[in-house]
Amino acid sequence: MLIRNTKRDCIRQSLFVSITLTGMKKILLLTIVVGAISLTSCAQKTNEKKIVKAVAYEYEQALANYDLDQAEKFASSETKARFIPKARAMVKKVGREVIEADMPAKVKISDIEISSDTTATVKWKKKTPRSRSKGTLELRKRDGVWQALDLIQQMPQRQ
């Protein structure tokens, strides 16, 4: 039996192949675009975590070593208004000898969680010659800058 390909059959076959290749090209292109977007978003999130970690570290390290001027550079406006003045008053009461006996302090930042575009939480551990402590620090992003939002909820508000 002899199979004859008519002109119509050839046109049908070439259209089928053309449509199949076009569909495959679209799928491949879509896969590449989705992959690129995924990689970009992961890279941005990793970069944000590094920035949050750096701000948290600088803030906590400065506090741990009683450098309130340095800590204030990384603090939110609320922290500057409510916490930093109380910390300054407390440092004056404690005395230089006690402070020097508790230095140098070392801080470690861990468990960085960015819960939204403007809110993050980290856990910190502090080790000094006299003590060890740990806690949680909340950070807020304002005007594109991450800032420490410290102890506002934990400290009693005087009215």
pLDDT for residue 106 is more than 90:
yes
Residue 53 reports pLDDT greater than 70: yes
Band of residue 7 on the pLDDT scale cut at 50, 70, 90: low
Nearest to 56 by CA among 77, 80, 83, 76: 76
CATH topology of domain 7-149: Nuclear Transport Factor 2; Chain: A, (3.10.450)
Q: How confident is the model at residue 158 (pLDDT cuts 50, 70, 90)?
A: very low
Give the model's confidence band at 96: pLDDT under 50 very low, under 70 low, under 90 confident, else very high.
Answer: confident
Residues 136-155, mean pLDDT to the nearest whole number: 80
Kindly report the pTM of this predicted structure: 0.66
Give the model's pLDDT for residue 62. Answer: 92
Q: What is the Cα–Cα distance from 104 to 99, expressed in whole angstroms?
A: 9
Q: What is the pLDDT of residue 112?
A: 92
